[in-house]
């Protein structure tokens, strides 16, 4: 009787966690570059009431459910047209690399959020001031010719950053945006602000990083996606699916709560039999 209380409690806690995951997906339905997550369950340990013999099967009773994993869906999100040249979307595989200044030096993070602008020093930075990196891993710094007014800054599908001047000429220096990928991107750690971290394991040669050894590449080459200038990648959350799963999760929580209260009532009745 006591076990049924703990079993149903594990169901309530697991379904509450799943509801937290679903709620976060729904909250980020309009977040640029957001990737939906999914909570998966697994059954808990089993109590063996009777072992197996050559003539009989074992009798085992489960003890509930636990959270097995929270998996990220890295599928492509919809491309949203902004007409702004430095709004960039990866169409296909790969992450942008952005550098953050820390007390320990520069740290490389990964993101699918591609809204950038040029700061006063010519670096392409995101909203948090983190610098976009090129195909060599260095921060992209544009150095326009001082005697020519800039007409526009554009990015090709292959990631070349091109400055067009007022006289129609283009820059001779065309830094190329770098892209990064991993054999198991679910091994990356989310740190907020649309950023992922490999805990610097990839820069150190892979090590025990669950994401695997980092793949450094260029847009449009060796399986990497292309760059779409004037677009941002929207969230890949499917609202209809999330709401449907939310209803199913609510019903699962309610069923476990009912089992919990029923077990409590039976236990109370059992105690009262002794009076």
Say what the alpha-carbon torsion angle 181, 182, 183, 185 is, to the nearest 10 degrees.
Answer: -110
Other Cβ atoms less than 10 A from the Cβ of 98: the count is: 26
* Cβ contact 43:58 at 8 Å: no
The 10s digit of each residue's pLDDT in 110-140 is 999 999 999 999 999 999 999 999 999 999 9
* Among 26, 16, 27, 25, residue whose Cα is nearest residue 67: 16
> Mind giving me the DSSP string for 103-137?
TTEEEEEEES--B-EE-TTSBEE-TT-PEEBBTTS
Distance, C-alpha 188 to centroid of its chain: 8
**Domain range annotation of the chain:** 2-74+237-272, 79-233
Q: Could you tell me the pLDDT band of residue 150, with boundaries at 50, 70 and 90?
A: confident
The 10s digit of each residue's pLDDT in 159-203 is 999 999 888 888 878 899 999 999 999 999 999 999 999 986 545
Q: What angle do CA 177, 31, 88 make, to 5 degrees?
A: 20
Q: Is the pLDDT of residue 153 over 60?
A: yes
The Cα–Cα gap between 161 and 149 comes to 17
Structure tokens at 113: 């959020």
The Cα–Cα gap between 104 and 64 comes to 45
């Amino acid at each position: 009787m006591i076990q049924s209380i703990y079993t149903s409690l594990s169901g309530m806690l697991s379904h509450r966690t799943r509801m937290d995951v679903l709620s976060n997906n729904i909250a980020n339905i309009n977040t640029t570059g957001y990737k939906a997550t999914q909570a998966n369950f697994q059954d808990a340990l089993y109590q063996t009431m009777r072992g197996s013999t050559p003539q009989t099967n074992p009798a085992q009773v489960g003890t509930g459910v636990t959270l097995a994993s929270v998996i990220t869906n890295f599928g492509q999100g919809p491309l949203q047209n902004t007409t702004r040249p430095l709004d960039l979307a990866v169409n296909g595989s790969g992450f942008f690399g952005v550098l953050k200044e820390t007390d320990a030096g520069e740290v490389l993070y990964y993101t699918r959020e591609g809204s950038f602008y040029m700061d006063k020093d010519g670096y392409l930075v995101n909203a948090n001031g983190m610098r976009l990196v090129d195909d060599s891993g260095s921060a992209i710094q544009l150095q326009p010719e001082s005697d020519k007014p800039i007409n526009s800054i554009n990015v090709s599908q292959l990631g070349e950053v091109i400055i067009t001047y007022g006289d129609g000429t283009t820059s001779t220096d065309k830094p190329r945006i770098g892209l990064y990928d991993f054999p198991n991107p679910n091994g990356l750690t989310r740190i907020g602000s649309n950023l992922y971290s490999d805990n610097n394991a990839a820069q150190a040669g892979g090590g025990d990083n669950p994401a695997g050894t980092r793949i450094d590449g260029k847009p449009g080459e060796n399986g990497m996606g292309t760059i779409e200038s004037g677009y941002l990648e929207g969230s890949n959350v499917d609202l209809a699916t999330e709401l449907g799963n939310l209803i199913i999760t609510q019903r699962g929580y309610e069923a476990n709560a009912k089992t919990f209260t029923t077990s409590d009532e039976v236990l109370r009745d059992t105690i009262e039999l002794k009076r």
